[in-house]
């Protein structure tokens, strides 16, 4: 590891790391058992709004890692987007039925059904349309959504401080949950460099590490 802040998560037989060991093109059926049941964790229903806009310092780290953002599939607006991406899908566009091409930053609506966004990312990554992705979500290790997301992530950053999200009205608020950022792609060292100042970066083990 290049940094003492890079650590290993406990292995899970459903986890598949990305990078050189990740295989594109795996079928939807192979993954169906992971996300067959919707996630109804109580913490996902505790917010007045499911929209939590990403603060600028997180976006700066995302761009430092990816170089640029080609797509925000869960954007707040086409006219005044929070994320500086080349393309944006809003609720009206329904990003779940669109193609996710290139480098993706995903901050999905927090609430029941969030796992659908992670399943969609899995399919787009497996098909080769998504080349890299960073996902801002939460450290909810007990949920099936977490298992869905870590199945294709090879790095996870746990911020050392709670992220103060920006609400739809422009107000800042501290979440009642611990956030986490997930990297999907073949350049994990760039993610480590970009996010090590934000928090500890952990390695998601591949199936080859599972006994």
Q: What is the pLDDT of residue 172?
A: 58
User: What is this structure's pTM?
Assistant: 0.74
At residue 198, φ and ψ (nearest 5 deg) are -85, -35
Q: What is the pLDDT of residue 80?
A: 75
Give the Cα separation of 73 and 56 in Å (integer): 18
Nearest-CA neighbor of 144 among 168, 116, 123, 172?
Answer: 116
Render each residue's pLDDT in the chain as its tens digit; 211 residues: 444 345 655 444 333 344 444 444 434 433 333 333 334 333 333 334 456 778 899 999 999 999 999 999 999 888 778 899 999 999 999 999 999 999 999 999 877 899 999 999 999 999 999 999 999 998 888 889 999 999 999 999 999 988 876 666 555 555 556 889 999 999 999 999 999 999 999 999 874 333 3
**What is the maximum span of the chain, computed from C-alpha positions, in angstroms?**
50
Nearest-CA neighbor of 85 among 97, 94, 76?
Answer: 76
Name the E strands within the chain. Answer: 6-8, 69-72, 85-88, 102-106, 130-138, 155-159, 165-166, 172-173, 179-184, 199-203
Q: Does residue 99 form part of some domain?
A: yes
Q: What is the pLDDT of residue 174?
A: 56
Q: What is the pLDDT of residue 8?
A: 57
Q: Does residue 1 form part of some domain?
A: no
Contact call for residues 185 and 18 (beta carbons, < 8 A) = yes
How many domains does the structure of the chain reveal? 1
Q: What is the pLDDT of residue 123?
A: 97
Q: What is the pLDDT of residue 111?
A: 78
Q: Does residue 177 form part of some domain?
A: yes
> Which residue segment(s) compose the domain that 154 sits in?
6-209
Q: How many Å from the N-terminal Cα to the C-terminal Cα in the chain?
A: 21
Q: What is the pLDDT of residue 17?
A: 40
């Amino acid at each position: 590891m290049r940094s003492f802040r890079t650590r290993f998560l406990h292995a899970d037989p459903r986890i598949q790391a990305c990078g050189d060991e990740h295989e594109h093109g795996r079928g939807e059926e192979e993954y169906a058992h992971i996300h067959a049941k919707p996630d109804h964790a109580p913490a996902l229903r505790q917010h007045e709004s499911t929209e939590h806009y990403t603060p600028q310092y997180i976006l700066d780290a995302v761009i430092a890692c990816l170089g640029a953002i080609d797509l925000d599939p869960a954007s707040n607006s086409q006219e005044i987007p929070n994320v500086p991406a080349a393309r944006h899908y809003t609720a009206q566009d329904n990003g779940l039925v669109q193609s996710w091409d290139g480098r993706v930053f995903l901050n999905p609506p927090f609430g029941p059904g969030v796992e659908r966004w992670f399943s969609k990312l899995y399919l787009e990554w497996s098909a080769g349309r998504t080349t890299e992705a960073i996902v801002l979500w939460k450290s909810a290790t007990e949920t099936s959504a977490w298992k869905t997301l870590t199945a294709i992530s090879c790095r996870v950053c746990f911020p050392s401080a709670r992220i103060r999200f920006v609400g739809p009205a422009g107000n800042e608020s501290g979440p009642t949950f611990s956030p986490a950022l997930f990297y999907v792609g073949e350049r994990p060292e760039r993610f480590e460099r970009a996010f090590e100042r934000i928090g500890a970066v952990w390695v998601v083990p591949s199936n080859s590490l599972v006994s």
